[in-house]
Every structure is written in C-alpha cells, then in structure tokens.
Structure 1
C-alpha cells in the first residue's frame, strides 16, 4: 500500500454513520470508501506528508499519544477507529476540530522546522532536506486551511491513511 493520507470533514449524518461502525474494521472501511465516492462536506489530501507533519507537531515519533494536545490530534492523536494493521483512521469531534484549528492558526513554524531538522532520516524513512521541508510545510498550510473551514462549519474530521 502507498501510505497516502487524507482528511474528510464529517457533518452530523456522516459522523453517525462512521461512529456506528465501532469495532467493525471492515464496516468502517466500507463506509469510508462510500464517503470517498460521495460528496463529503470537505476533504484534504496530504499524500505521504502526514507522517512528517505529525512528527514535527509532536516529539518526532509516529504515534497517536506522542506530543501534547491539540497539536498531536492534527493527524494521529484523535480517537483511533480502526484496530487492524491495514489502515490508520483517526477521528476528531467538532469541538476538537475547533481546538486543533485554533492551535494550527497560531502555530509558530520555527519549532516545527527545528523538529524537522532534528528527525533521524533512518527512523523517519525519508531524506531530511530543504525539498522535503517545503513539501511538509505546503501540506501543513493545506491542513490548516481544512481545519479552519471545518471548525467554522462545525464539522468533525476523519484522518485516513492506508498502511
């Protein structure tokens, strides 16, 4: 699989549909695939940048419990909905989306950049250079805009990545 990630905004009916799959990984992925083929309120593709962005917003590792809230909830720190190994699915409530949007809006890029340059390329699994940093910051701007739109509209968010 490609490890590409994306965010979906969820309104109330879609929140209920996703949360109704509690504990059913196969059902959850089917619902997500259906949402992908319909008009969700908003979406944001992030390619493989989600990994580096999460590491730079937290403590440099890849895990939902790394870092501090609300920045750790941007990508992986929300409620994990998928329990298997094939996907990562993380859910943030509308209230959490508002808090994440506010934190991203106020984000100082200097610590983000410092954490990026401190990444171990072997652990990160990618080269650490200026081009990769530009790639991450471009997608970080898109994620910030996504969260701002979702917060303004009162939507929840779902982050999805295949493994």
Structure 2
C-alpha cells in the first residue's frame, strides 16, 4: 500500500467529517481530493515507508492504538474515517503537536527504534530499508511543519 498525507482545507475537512460513517462517500471525497490536488507543498508521498515510520513512532506494530502522544498520530493513529482502507484524520491542533514532536526526531533516534517491529512487517529491515524510512520521515517532518503553519488538518491515506 502506498501512503499519502494531505494537509486539507477547512472545506475538505468538513466534507470528510460529515461523511464519516459512509465509506462510499468518504471514498468519493478522497478520490476527488487525490485527482484535483494542486499544492505539492501540502502533500507528501511516503510511498511504502509509512509502515516503518509508524512502527518506529509507536510500539513497533501497525496498531492504530499502539503508541502514545502526538507521534502516534503522525501516520495511522488518528481518527479512522473508512472501514476498508486507511483514511486517517488528524485535527489542526493535533497537527501542531505532531509537528513539534516530529521536529525532535533525528537519525540516531530513528535508527535505535528501526527494526524493532512485530513479525508482520513486510520490509527488509536492512540498511537500505532504514535509509528509505529515514528519507520518508524527513519529508514527513517538513510536511507537518507546513501543515501546522497553515493551520490545516491532515488526512493520511493508504491504498
């Protein structure tokens, strides 16, 4: 599954929150959002690195409730809006907290947590995989800084 984060407008946020509970409506909104997205500064593709990033920021699992604090919200720990795929919402005030928490992460911190995953991790968990994950995290750090500065909510999707 390929992961993408979007810093959504207040209008897009309202549409998604109003559609929560209706998977078809949420899917339609996400499809339109992906197709029409124009602001690359407020979007980040974490490709497949999102999986290892979430595991490093939490307890080594993909469990949305597996971590604590703002770092757990960075990928799949927010409010889930769809039952069949990842469409995860993080409110603007939470986005600021996530941005602050991510800013403190450096490469040695991530390396110390990398690979300490449960058995269902599909990645190689080798040095190349670590660098791929680190690059994804660096992009995610910048994205959350920009989203927080813009006062936006964030949606993470993985399909």
> TM-score when scaled to structure 2?
0.93
Whole-Å Cα distance in 2 between the matches of residues 6 and 22 of structure 1?
19
Report how many residues are paired: 157
> Would you say the 8 A contact 2:110–2:134 is kept in 1?
no
Q: How does 1:63-142 map to 2 (within 5 A)?
A: 63-84=63-84, 87-119=85-117, 122-142=119-139
Flag the 1:12–1:98 CA change in 2: closer, same or farther, 3 A.
same
* Aligned match of 1:62: 62
Match of 2:26 in 1: 28
Structure 1 residue 113 displacement after superposition: 1.2
8 Å CA contact 2:56, 2:114 repeated in 1: yes
The alignment's C-alpha RMSD in Å is 1.3
Structure 2 counterpart of 1:155 = 152
Task: Indicate conservation of the 8 Å contact 1:5/1:48, yes or no.
Answer: yes
- SS in structure 2 opposite 1:117? coil
Deviations 1:71-100 (A, max 9, x none): 01000111111123xx11110000000000
Deviations 1:114-163 (A, max 9, x none): 2213335x42112111100000000100011010000001000000001x
Q: Which runs of 5+ in 1 are unaligned?
A: none
**2:143 counterpart (122, 143, 146):** 146
**Cα separation, 2, equivalents of 1:126 and 1:8:** 24
Distance 2:65 2:107 in 1: 22
